Amino acid sequence: MERAVIDGMDDIYEAWHQDLGHAEYRITITMAGYGADADAAETLLEGFLDKHPETGPVVSQNREVDTLSVTFSLKASGQEHALKLGQVVWAEGGAASGLQPTHVVRAEIEPVEDAEDRAPAGERVPA
């Protein structure tokens, strides 16, 4: 009986978040440089996994335009709140990596409609 109650807690938690307007958001932040440096991509991923593994970070590179991107997801009460939380995740994950920061060239945020479309955490994928 105790197991059934514990299993049901996840459903209650999700319902509570939905009732309060909490939703999941996917954030992608792209910075200039490091697009051709596989070691930098691995280092950045390790920093994010060290500081915020719960966000399921994925790192991608674009050699043509020499950029490095990190995509992660988090729960927030709205898009503006998600962006503020995302800035903290970005700063802490980047600092933990030890890479020199460069210019952020793009930041994207979108609500996550279905959890099945997320890449596995810790995976590098092409941009």
Q: Provide the edge-to-edge strand list for the sheet that holds 58-62.
A: 58-62, 67-76, 23-32, 104-111
Query: Cα Rg for the chain, rounded, in angstroms?
Result: 16
Using CB atoms within 10 A of its CB, is residue 127 exposed (0-12), middle (13-18) or buried (19+)?
middle
Contacts of residue 114, defined as CB under 8 A and 6 or more positions apart, other chains included, come to none
Round to whole Å and give the CA distance between 68 and 31: 6
pLDDT in tens, 57-86: 999 999 999 999 999 999 998 899 999 999
- Residue spans per domain, the chain: 22-117
CATH architecture of 22-117: 2-Layer Sandwich (3.30)
Q: Give me 78's structure tokens.
A: 């709205």
Round to whole Å and give the CA distance between 89 and 55: 9
When the pLDDT of each residue in the chain is averaged and rounded to a whole number, the result is: 83
Q: Can you tell me the mean pLDDT for 6-35?
A: 72
pLDDT in tens, 103-113: 999 999 999 97
Q: Can you tell me the mean pLDDT for 18-22?
A: 58
